[in-house]
Amino acid sequence: MIEVKDLTKRYGPATVVDGLSFQVRPGVVTGFLGPNGAGKSTTMRMIMGLDRPTAGTATIDGHPYAQLTTPLRRVGALLEARSFHPGRTAFHHLLGLAATAGVPRSRVDDVIDIVGLRATAHRRAGGYSLGMGQRLGIATALLADPEVLILDEPVNGLDPEGIRWIRDLMRGLAADGRTVFVSSHLMSEMALTAEHLIVVSRGRLVADEPLDGFIARAALDSVLVRTDQPTRLHALLTGPGVTVTSVDRGSFEVSGLDAQQIGNRAAADGITLHELSTRQASLEDAFMRLTQERTV
């Protein structure tokens, strides 16, 4: 388990992380979301002991990363995908790391196969594409079969097949009881991958809750209506506390009335409706609404 308590990081007068406290528990994929500059990468670096906190603590199973006796076996991290020597092959990069952690050579072959680099394992990594470099970074994180995974933007550079692969991999690792903490700016992908969310804005905690609860909390109170009598319908629905916004020719988004109320009014006035649906909030909708509210 990862635990962050009152974590703060300042660079001169700028506070990048401001009193963050949260836990990342095993058994679920926990997504880490926030606008650019919200402090996500800095927080992950402090968890990994790469940046020193100004105040507060970040621990893994109760210990700072620097105090772990077998760190590679406890924590696997992808913070910078291309953190490898460009002149080395993927195989020798992984083999060198394995030797420092007492990991058998057979595991090197295993992770090369897991990430799909078998055909290019003996090419110099400096010639890798962004996606291939990302796969090598993930292989490095998985090398010692760690209990905790910390992945910063792991889908960057991956094609659709690769994105599905890393999604299934993370969910499978969590299902095995591991702690998986992942950041991403791709909301649609995070909605398919994460079960719990930690959301930050301007270095402060905005949300720490299950994905479904986060979306429900920012639910959109609007109904989409379509008719071939738009002028009559617009006049019928407009009134105090009701907002009617034109979406397309003959279509409106209505706030302040639910679908039943709109349907009843239209039926009473003899207006035929071709569509009447409550709009469901997406993760992107919820993220934009809640983070913008926090910055106002």
Residue 245 and residue 225: Cα distance in Å, rounded? 10
* 280 Cβ neighbours under 8 A, 6+ residues apart: 219, 220
Residue 234 and residue 254: Cα distance in Å, rounded? 10
Q: What is the pLDDT of residue 247?
A: 81
Q: What is the pLDDT of residue 293?
A: 57
pLDDT tens digit at each of 296 positions of the chain: 999 999 999 999 999 999 999 999 999 999 999 999 999 999 999 999 999 999 999 999 999 999 998 899 999 999 987 788 899 999 999 999 999 989 999 999 999 999 999 999 999 999 999 999 999 999 999 999 999 999 999 998 899 999 999 999 999 999 999 999 999 988 989 999 999 999 999 999 999 999 998 888 766 668 899 999 999 999 999 999 898 988 888 898 898 888 999 999 999 999 999 999 877 778 888 888 777 755 44
Residue 290 and residue 281: Cα distance in Å, rounded? 12
Q: State the helix-helix crossing angle for 130-142 and 90-101, rounded to 10 degrees.
A: 20
Is residue 6 within 8 Å of residue 56, measured between CB atoms? Answer: yes
199 torsion bin: left (phi>0), alpha (psi -120 to 50), beta (else): beta
Residue 257 and residue 243: Cα distance in Å, rounded? 9
What is the pairing mode between strands 29-33 and 14-24?
unpaired
What domains sit in the chain, N to C, each tagged with a CATH number? 2-217 (3.40.50.300), 223-279 (3.30.70)
Query: Which of 181, 160, 159, 186 shows the shortest CA–CA distance to 170?
Result: 181
Q: What is the pLDDT of residue 296?
A: 40
Q: What is the pLDDT of residue 295?
A: 47
- Largest Cα separation within the chain, whole Å, is 78
Residue 66 and residue 220: Cα distance in Å, rounded? 45
Question: CA torsion 60→62→67→71, rounded to 10°?
Answer: -30
Q: What is the pLDDT of residue 250?
A: 87
Q: What is the pLDDT of residue 253?
A: 86
